[in-house]
Structure 1
Amino acid sequence: MTLDQITILSILAATIVLFIWGSWRHDVVALASLLACVFVGLIPPSHAFDGFGHPAVVTVACVLILSRGLQSTGAMDAFAQRMIPKSGSTTLAIGAITAVGALMSSFMNNVGAMALLMPVASGLAEKHHLPPGKVLMPLSFGTILGGMTTLIGTPPNLIVSSFRASAGAGSYGMFDFTPVGLGVAIVGILFVCLIGWRLVPERTQAGAATFDTGTYLTEALVPEKSPVAGKTLWEIARMLEDEDAQVVGVVRDDGRVSPARPRHRVRVGDILVIEAEPESLAAAISHLGLKLEGEPAEAEEPDGPGEESKALAEGRPGTAKRDRGRRDESGGAGDGAGHQDGGGAKGESDGDDGDKLAGGESRKEGKKEREKERDKERGEDLRLRELVVMPDSDLVGRTIQFLRLPAHYEINLLALSRQGRRSVRRLRSTPLLAGDALLMMGTDDNLNTFASEKGCVPLAQRDIAIPNKEKAAIALVTMALAVAGAAFGLLPAAISFATCVLAYMALKVVSLRNVYESIDGSVIVLLGALIAVAGVMESSGAADLVSRWMLSAIAGGDPVIALVTLLVVTMTLSDFMNNAATAAVMCSIALSASAQLGVNPDSFLMAVAIGASCAFLTPVGHQNNTLILGPGGFHFGDYWRLGLPLEIMVVAVSVPLLLWVWPL
């Protein structure tokens, strides 16, 4: 073993450990791995970033933009709504939405497909009286299965294709993955819709009448004249017996959360941390006469105690913050006038000032009445909506206090649910995680803007929306032409889809601003960095070393056993680290193993593609699994109950198909 081989294997081992550990983002880990190779001399500095110009990276970026166009025009939303039956059995409903998710993810980003179908899944769960997880997990797994059926369905397929091209055999075509991938997807979807959804654990606590995300935690201020001021928590618990809610903590002047003790006496100015189901939250706060604690500036309540909570219960906005700002402004003007002192002409001055003040007060009263009327009209449009934080959201790792939602979006975070578990911490200082469910209040426009800009998905059934039918048609036709151009070999995939992106921009299917917002920078950095690192694996001979050990120690020189081993190892790694990273690491080993055995490298490369796309055991293996973690109320260990039999089935189906379609 040479020094270069020892070094690259050490860097690779550290990279895999950091991926599985998960404390650092995958793009940070990949970039650190690339720079480590540069610093130790394995990659010349002048070639460190060659991977970012790789066709696979360009194609992934283009597919992300095209997916945004299909989403924003409503084209795929309309398709999904028409394909899912309005009536029928539970098995038929789950099978239909899973199959539609698989079909959509074949030609668009599978996270985008999942985001589009989550509101539909909520409607199916409610209609069939199911816990939401019973529909969400099959949908997540279906979108993952669908991605393996085409070249652009998932980034691992593009990476596998790029490694084939680098080996001198040319890139794979658009539908070269279809014979094996489609067979695996069909069997997997049949298993999920006939048997698998019954294996998903039930995590709802209040029945399936709503899209249940478990209990919410919210903070509410005890204002003056509140009926709970001076009462003990035991007495408050008696008041909440009919509200399906409880006080789990109290915040006082020091800002710390104290556990709820029955003898603890509540004072004016205390903040109560309340745990409640979404549908009972408003009633509990209104019954106790509390004020929602959205921001520190809202501590005062000029409209009287309980007004904000009544607004929540009635679907109106709280006006305390707006009215206070206006009153402060008018008060300042009044003070300035009142302090004028004119000496000898004092009486005349006072009279003039009195007239001015009277006129000013009259104008201010009229202005205030008009503003209150506008506030009332605006309040009628306020909505409560549950949003889930997507894995690539800007919200991940940030706190509500940092985001300043009322100032920037005119909305408020009322409560937070995380995997259906209690976490008694200050709401505004809690860093958000992917999969968190947020209960938000605001107008439809403001909530939609926030969800779009910050990467959130609504959890309630939404109406089908096609903002522009002409653009939806353009998006579909242009995408079809791009797929045809790549499928028939008229253009390389990267060129074909880049041309489609240019058409989207020229025809304004996607705005120029949204073009760059559509690209997930973390995925681009991950691919660009690891392609270079994987190249070092091959050039240093480390891939040959690993493959020789695998063939001798595990496979015993048998190509079929080697194929199964490669598939299982890739699948296992993909359950704990990013699937694109798994594909980049394993492709070099696959090429080396096939060369040493003297067999068809396509069989081994396709095994990597299948294994990297099948992450069903954990919520961290794939972004879609992370996305359903909070809404389904799942725990980390819930995924294997359906995921393990599904992965066993994938191995049992894919190996014969690989040997038949891509014979050794």
Structure 2
Amino acid sequence: MSAAQWTILAILAATVAMFVWGRWRHDMVAMAALLACVLAGLLPASSAFTGFGHPAVITVACVLVLSRGLQTSGLVDLLARRVLPAKAGVGSSLVALIGLGALLSGFMNNVGAMALLMPVAVRLAERLQLAPGQVLMPLAFGTILGGMTTLIGTPPNLIVAGFRQEQGMGSFGMFDFTPVGLSVALAGVLLIAFIGWRLVPVRKQAGMEGFDTGAYLTEVRVPKGSSSVGQTLNALEIALDKAGTQVVGLVRNEVRVLAPSPWRHVVADDILVIEADAEALPQLLAVLELRLEESRRPESDPEAESEPEASDAPADNAASPDAAPAETPAKPGQPAKASAPPSTDAADPEETAPAAESSRNKSDIRLVELVIRPGSGLEGRSASDLLLRTRYGLNLLAVSRQGQRARARLRAMPLHAGDLLLMQGPFETIAEFASDNGCVPLAERKLHIPSPRKAWQAGSIMVAAVAAAALGWLPAAIAFAMAVLASMALRTVSPRAVYEAVDWPVVVLLAALMPVAGAMETTGTADLIARFMLDHLAQGHAVLGLGLILVVTMFLSDLMNNAATAAVMCPIALGTASALGASADPFLMAVAIGASCAFLTPIGHQNNTLILGPGGFRFGDYWRLGLPLEVLVVAISMPVLLMVWPL
């Protein structure tokens, strides 16, 4: 092996390790890998950023913008009301919902499709008397499957098509992915709808009264004159047990005690950190005469920093602060009737300044549950960082995070993707906050449709772009760029919202990894890896080599971003095909299928992360349905690949 090969292998190994570790965002890791290749002399500086002009990157950005138009126009809500049966059984209802999600994902961003249909899934779970997770996980997997059916359905397909074009074989067409992708998607949807949903772990059986959201971590203050003043924590906990809640900490004089002694007496202005179901909050507040800390603080109070921590209990007797929260989820005590946020096209961000909040209807105060989407601007930030009161006039009352208990004060707690937030404030303000910050409201409300005319315009623009690309009239990047321009002209997406609709971390990820993958080819590293796999694993058999590429890609996709997986595996797939003297097409298709099949972990795909909190799931819950689904994918895709794309 040459020094260049050792160097690119070291960079690749470090990149994959960083992707799996997850400490840095994917675009940061990809950019670091790109710059490392430049500094190591593996890439000329003049070509380091050519990936930003790659047609696949342009197409991804344009599809994200067009997806925004489909969302804000209300077209999806219209389809949901027309397609979903009102009184069908579990199997038929799930087929309709998952089928709609898969269909939408074939032509728009699958994360956007998932976010739009999540409130529909929650309502369906309520009607069928199922746990929300039994509908949310099937929907998430269905939208992932649907993405593999067309060129624009998911970024890995565009990346694979880009690599084929760079090899001088031309790009894959719009529906070249359909024979294999549709076969896999149909089989997967049927498995999930009639058998797979039974494999989803049930945290609690949801009835007609509401949906499961897990235990919240919140803070309550003991006001002067409260009946709780002077009582011991042990006495309070006996009363709290009856409401299904528990004390997990105490704050006194701005110092947090993680494991307070049960015999400590409560004094006025103590803050109790409690873990409670949302519907139990009104009861415990009334009985114990407590007040929600975040709702009582006036807006003039400064956003405080996190307090130092202390403990007055011995370490061996202290309750573990990392213990899993109670598994009894519940609904809010005052459920808001909300769904996907209204269109943001009517008002630009600058027009929603804090000063405008004084004109809001303050009598329309709601409690609304929001789930944080992956890639949201809220990740890693706290309520204090966001200036929720001064900027939005909102209160963050509680946070639900399955599987762990935060040590920070509520207003200083860094937020994560999948967290559930219990927000208090005017509904329109909460809707604006959700739209601006990548959150999805979970309670029920009919989607606001700005104009039926815009809904059909957005759909027509998307259909025209797909037709132009599929029939070969225009290259895909040009067709979708023209569609974006038409959307801006007709204002199905406002010009200001165009740049907000683009998922820039994904764009940077793709643009940075394209040249890195090129360095793997030019140094011969991809061919070296391919020969090692063939000689020691596939032993020269083309079919075994194809299956190996598919399985390895699926495994990596469960651990790292699917677009990154496709970019890493495409050079290896091309090298394997060349070493076997076989056609490159089936191997590239195997990469596309494998990169789109991340069903074993919550980190493999954004849709899996999105349902983590609302479904009450833990890391190990996904494989129960995901493993049979991945086995089915291999069993269906291998023969179809060999039939449609002969070796």
Normalised by the length of structure 2, the TM-score is 0.89
Native 8 Å contact 2:151 2:174 kept in 1: yes
In the alignment, which residue of structure 2 is the partner of 1:177? 177
CA distance in 1, matches of 2:258, 2:637: 55
CA distance in 2, matches of 1:378, 1:468: 24
Native 8 Å contact 1:95 1:189 kept in 2: yes
Partner AA of 2:421 in structure 1: L
Partner AA of 1:620 in structure 2: I
Partner AA of 1:107 in structure 2: F
Aligned: 1:658 with 2:641: yes
In the alignment, which residue of structure 2 is the partner of 1:562? 545
Native 8 Å contact 2:126 2:207 kept in 1: no
Write the deviation string for residues 64-103 of structure 1: whole angstroms up to 9, x where unpaired: 0000000011111211222111111112222221111101
In the alignment, which residue of structure 2 is the partner of 1:121? 121
Among candidates 446, 453, 456, match of residue 473 of structure 1:
456
CA distance in 1, matches of 2:289, 2:335: 16
Partner AA of 2:578 in structure 1: A
Aligned: 1:268 with 2:251: no
Native 8 Å contact 1:570 1:611 kept in 2: yes
Aligned: 1:194 with 2:194: yes
Structure 1 residue 242, shift from structure 2 partner: 4.2
Length, aligned pairs only: 597
In the alignment, which residue of structure 2 is the partner of 1:96? 96
Higher mean C-alpha deviation, range 137-146 or range 232-241? 232-241
Among candidates 437, 453, 461, match of residue 420 of structure 2:
437
In the alignment, which residue of structure 1 is the partner of 2:349? none
CA distance in 1, matches of 2:50, 2:496: 27
Normalised by the length of structure 1, the TM-score is 0.87
Structure 1 residue 22, shift from structure 2 partner: 0.9
In the alignment, which residue of structure 1 is the partner of 2:344? none
In the alignment, which residue of structure 2 is the partner of 1:577? 560
Judging changes above 3 Å, is the alpha-carbon distance between structure 1 residues 67 and 150 closer, same or farther for their aligned structure 2 residues?
same
* Structure 2 unaligned residues grouped into runs of 5+: 302-331, 337-356
Partner AA of 2:123 in structure 1: G
In the alignment, which residue of structure 2 is the partner of 1:14? 14
Question: What pairs with 1:249-288 in structure 2 (closer than 5 Å)?
Answer: 249-288=249-288
Aligned: 1:588 with 2:571: yes
In the alignment, which residue of structure 2 is the partner of 1:148? 148
Question: What pairs with 1:64-79 in structure 2 (closer than 5 Å)?
Answer: 64-79=64-79
Among candidates 489, 513, 526, match of residue 496 of structure 2:
513
Judging changes above 3 Å, is the alpha-carbon distance between structure 1 residues 205 and 484 closer, same or farther for their aligned structure 2 residues?
closer
Partner AA of 1:24 in structure 2: W
Native 8 Å contact 2:130 2:206 kept in 1: no
Q: Secondary structure at the match of 1:256?
A: strand
Judging changes above 3 Å, is the alpha-carbon distance between structure 1 residues 58 and 313 closer, same or farther for their aligned structure 2 residues?
closer
Higher mean C-alpha deviation, range 609-618 or range 255-264? 255-264
Native 8 Å contact 1:247 1:260 kept in 2: no
In the alignment, which residue of structure 2 is the partner of 1:597? 580
Write the deviation string for residues 519-555 of structure 1: whole angstroms up to 9, x where unpaired: 1110011000000100001111111111111111111
Higher mean C-alpha deviation, range 376-385 or range 86-95? 376-385
Native 8 Å contact 1:130 1:208 kept in 2: no
Native 8 Å contact 1:286 1:313 kept in 2: no
Q: Secondary structure at the match of 1:100?
A: helix
CA distance in 2, matches of 1:212, 1:315: 12
Judging changes above 3 Å, is the alpha-carbon distance between structure 1 residues 378 and 506 closer, same or farther for their aligned structure 2 residues?
closer
* Structure 1 unaligned residues grouped into runs of 5+: 302-311, 317-373
Structure 1 residue 460, shift from structure 2 partner: 1.2
Partner AA of 2:513 in structure 1: L
CA distance in 2, matches of 1:238, 1:376: 44
Percent identity for Structure 1 against Structure 2 = 59
Judging changes above 3 Å, is the alpha-carbon distance between structure 1 residues 657 and 223 closer, same or farther for their aligned structure 2 residues?
same
Structure 1 residue 244, shift from structure 2 partner: 2.9
CA distance in 2, matches of 1:189, 1:205: 23
CA distance in 2, matches of 1:206, 1:651: 34
Partner AA of 1:642 in structure 2: L
Judging changes above 3 Å, is the alpha-carbon distance between structure 1 residues 288 and 25 closer, same or farther for their aligned structure 2 residues?
same
In the alignment, which residue of structure 2 is the partner of 1:345? none
Higher mean C-alpha deviation, range 456-465 or range 408-417? 456-465
Native 8 Å contact 2:50 2:511 kept in 1: yes
In the alignment, which residue of structure 2 is the partner of 1:394? 377
Structure 1 residue 424, shift from structure 2 partner: 5.0
Structure 1 residue 653, shift from structure 2 partner: 0.4
In the alignment, which residue of structure 2 is the partner of 1:491? 474
Judging changes above 3 Å, is the alpha-carbon distance between structure 1 residues 515 and 314 closer, same or farther for their aligned structure 2 residues?
closer
Larger Rg: 1
Judging changes above 3 Å, is the alpha-carbon distance between structure 1 residues 10 and 421 closer, same or farther for their aligned structure 2 residues?
closer
CA distance in 2, matches of 1:208, 1:132: 12
CA distance in 2, matches of 1:627, 1:574: 17
Native 8 Å contact 1:213 1:419 kept in 2: no
Q: Secondary structure at the match of 1:416?
A: strand
Judging changes above 3 Å, is the alpha-carbon distance between structure 1 residues 110 and 375 closer, same or farther for their aligned structure 2 residues?
closer
Partner AA of 1:286 in structure 2: A
In the alignment, which residue of structure 2 is the partner of 1:381? 364
CA distance in 1, matches of 2:554, 2:300: 56
CA distance in 1, matches of 2:194, 2:297: 53
Alignment RMSD (CA, Å): 2.1
Q: Secondary structure at the match of 2:67?
A: helix
